[in-house]
Amino acid sequence: MKTNEPLLYGDLTQKIIGAAFDVHNTLGKGLSEKVYENALAVRLQELGLTAEHQKVVPVYFSNQKVGEQIVDLLVDDRVIVETKAVDRLMKSHEAQLLGYLKNTQFQLGLLINFGARVQFKRLIFTAQNR
């Protein structure tokens, strides 16, 4: 990617990440993943975004729906947000989110960890990779 190319949904992901920092700064560390997920959804809705909890998204194989997957949050019907509340993010967390992206129509996901400090990873899976 060239450095002068805009990020896919850059403004939206910036708002989501900023909201995650707001949530963590307000609530602090040590709470459950579900509490952070709920608080993040509230903050996103306060920002005028649509944040759907535990959203069921279809999974496709050979262009046919073969099942469903539940994602933590779906923001503005464009970005999957997977929340964690662990010491540190692991490769398995990234693999989970990439699996969601690979097998749904969504291209962009944010993995957000509300551990001792906020950590995030921005993952993309485009149609050319499918």
Q: Is residue 5, in this structure, part of any structural domain at all?
A: no
Q: Is residue 107, in this structure, part of any structural domain at all?
A: yes
Token duo for residue 117: 């400090």
d(CA 29, CA 74) in angstroms, rounded, equals: 23
Q: Is residue 2, in this structure, part of any structural domain at all?
A: no
Q: Is residue 3, in this structure, part of any structural domain at all?
A: no
Q: How confident is the model at residue 1 (pLDDT cuts 50, 70, 90)?
A: very low
Q: How confident is the model at residue 7 (pLDDT cuts 50, 70, 90)?
A: confident
Element (H, E) at 40: helix 33-46
Token duo for residue 105: 């129509």
Check pLDDT > 60 for residue 16. yes
Q: Is residue 120, in this structure, part of any structural domain at all?
A: yes
pLDDT digits over 77-116, tens only? 999 999 999 999 999 999 999 999 988 889 999 999 999 9
pLDDT computed for residue 87 by the predictor: 94
pLDDT computed for residue 30 by the predictor: 95
Give the three-state DSSP class for 105: coil
Q: Is residue 4, in this structure, part of any structural domain at all?
A: no
Q: Is residue 85, in this structure, part of any structural domain at all?
A: yes
Task: Please state the pTM of the whole predicted model.
Answer: 0.89
Distances (CA, A) of 61 to 65, 72, 94: 6, 22, 21
Distances (CA, A) of 99 to 9, 41, 63: 20, 22, 16
Tell me the CATH number at 102. 3.40.1350
Considering its fold, how many domains does the chain have in total? 1
Instruction: Say which DSSP state 29 is in.
Output: S
Domain residues for 68?
A: 10-129
